[in-house]
Amino acid sequence: MSNRPNAARHLTLVIELGVIILGVLMALTAESWWDGRLDRRLEREYLQDLHGEMLATDSALVFAISMD
């Protein structure tokens, strides 16, 4: 009977370790999701800026060609 409390203690420790690991995995998943959202937002902003610069360059080229 003396093994029974020891086995229960081990089971409790394994369960606690499992909960900790699950919490860490959830935190890493949430961080990855958030980083992905941030990356997509930065990509959109970059592409919008690039599009604006290309439109300005196109206008400048059309003007330069028309002046020749």
3 — pLDDT class (breaks 50, 70, 90): low
Model confidence pLDDT, tens digit, residues 4-20: 788 899 999 999 999 99
Per this entry, what is the length of the chain?
68
14 vs 17: CA distance, rounded Å: 5
Task: Write down the pTM of the prediction.
Answer: 0.63
17 vs 39: CA distance, rounded Å: 33
**How far, rounded to the nearest angstrom, does the alpha carbon of residue 41 sit from its chain's CA centroid?**
11
